[in-house]
């Protein structure tokens, strides 16, 4: 035993992550990850989801490039941060790129996670896997990591394709600050979709039937995307006397309640990263606006502006993962 401990200490931690007791065997955790990635890529469900997302994003990108090209020809285009407009501008026929990501991204997370546990339990393969000398937490961690890798690669490839298409169509390369802002937006989109992935994994552990977990995930997505803001507005309108407006404190409270929804957090983050001219995400008084000089925020100031939203989105995703981890570790599997 002492010799084994000495040998393991002599092996770097990074190597122990990928290899087993010796370098002739791969760590079973990464075997499960590779298997899950292959299952995701080969499934028709993933092909359908990625086709829908790719077609809609390329459609919105085409309309944005067309609008920017017409503005450049007419001389009405703003020369500052023009490349970011590929992600935000629309001619009215289709929403912009980041709106499509905000709307369709959760479907990708739900589609990859709603049956990761209950489908294997119904097929009887879950008991066979756990009967092997593999720690139980390897399974749930590997399933989450595999889906997260697929999502990350997809969004990074989409962002690079949009940058390449915009570079070819517009002929103006992105500045280093624009590239950093696009990269930060892509990371925020991955975190946003990871929240829905973790939430769908929770439903997959909690419910035995995949159809029930899928409907629960879609219902949660519809609630936060469509109905949550409507409910908040209705509640505030009930308590506001007719003909009066909310005070600054009331508007801030209303906005804070709306930011409980993950889609609102993601919207604030993308607005700050892709629109450098935005200097505030909440209501301002006349005293605060007095003397303000119009301009664009540097990328570090835009990051500071939405730091709390980024922390909130990461916290929500982490909380869902912790819930799924605890439920799986305590789940009785027969």
What's residue 17's pLDDT? 47
Q: Please give the model's pTM, rounded to 2 decimal places.
A: 0.86
Q: pLDDT of 80-98, one tens digit each?
A: 677 888 888 777 677 888 8
pLDDT at 322: 94
User: 204: which residues sit within 8 A by CB, 6+ positions away?
Assistant: 113, 114, 115, 116, 117, 118, 119, 210, 213
Band (156; pLDDT cuts 50, 70, 90): very high
Q: pLDDT per residue over 7-49, tens digit each?
A: 444 444 444 444 455 555 567 888 889 989 998 888 888 888 8
Q: What is the DSSP string of 58-121?
A: HHHHHHHHHHHHHHHHHT-S-STTTTTHHHH---SSS--HHHHHHHHHHHHHHHHHTTTTHHHH
Number of H helices, E strands in the chain: 17, 0
Per-residue pLDDT at 243 exceeds 70? no
| Residue 6: per-residue pLDDT | 46
CA distances from 11 to 6, 21, 43, 226 (A): 9, 10, 37, 52
Of 78-87, 119-128, 190-199, 250-259, the one with minimum mean pLDDT is: 78-87
- pLDDT of 316 reads 93
Alpha-carbon gap, residue 94 to 225, rounded angstroms? 18
At 19, give phi and psi (nearest 5°). Answer: -115, 160
């Amino acid at each position: 035993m002492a010799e084994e401990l000495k040998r393991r200490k002599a092996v770097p931690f990074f190597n122990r992550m990928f290899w087993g007791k010796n370098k002739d065997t791969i760590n079973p955790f990464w075997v499960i990850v590779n298997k899950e990635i292959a299952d995701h890529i080969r499934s028709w469900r993933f092909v359908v989801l990625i086709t829908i997302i790719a077609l809609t994003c390329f459609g919105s990108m085409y309309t944005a490039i067309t609008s920017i090209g017409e503005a450049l020809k007419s001389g009405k285009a703003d020369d500052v941060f023009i490349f970011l407009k590929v992600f935000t501008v629309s001619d009215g026929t289709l929403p912009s790129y980041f709106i499509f990501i905000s709307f369709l991204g959760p479907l990708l997370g739900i589609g990859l996670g709603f049956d990761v546990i209950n489908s294997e339990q119904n097929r009887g393969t879950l008991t066979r896997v756990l009967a092997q000398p593999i720690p139980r937490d390897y399974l749930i961690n590997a399933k989450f990591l595999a889906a997260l890798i697929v999502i990350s690669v997809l969004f990074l490839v989409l962002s690079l394709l949009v940058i390449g298409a915009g570079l070819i169509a517009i002929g103006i390369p992105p500045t280093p600050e624009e590239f950093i802002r696009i990269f930060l937006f892509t990371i925020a989109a991955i975190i946003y979709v990871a929240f829905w992935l973790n939430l769908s994994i929770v439903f997959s552990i909690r419910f035995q039937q995949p159809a029930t977990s899928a409907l629960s995930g879609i219902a949660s997505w519809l609630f936060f995307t469509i109905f949550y803001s409507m409910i908040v507005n209705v509640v505030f309108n009930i308590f506001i006397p007719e003909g009066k407006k909310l005070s600054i404190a009331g508007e801030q409270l209303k906005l804070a309640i709306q930011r409980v929804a993950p889609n609102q957090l993601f919207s604030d983050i993308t607005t700050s990263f892709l629109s450098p001219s935005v200097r505030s995400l909440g209501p301002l008084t006349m005293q605060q606006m007095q003397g303000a000089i119009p301009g664009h925020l540097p990328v570090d100031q835009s990051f500071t502006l939405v730091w709390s939203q980024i922390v909130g989105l990461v916290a929500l995703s982490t909380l869902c993962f912790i819930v799924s981890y605890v439920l799986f570790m305590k789940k009785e599997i027969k």
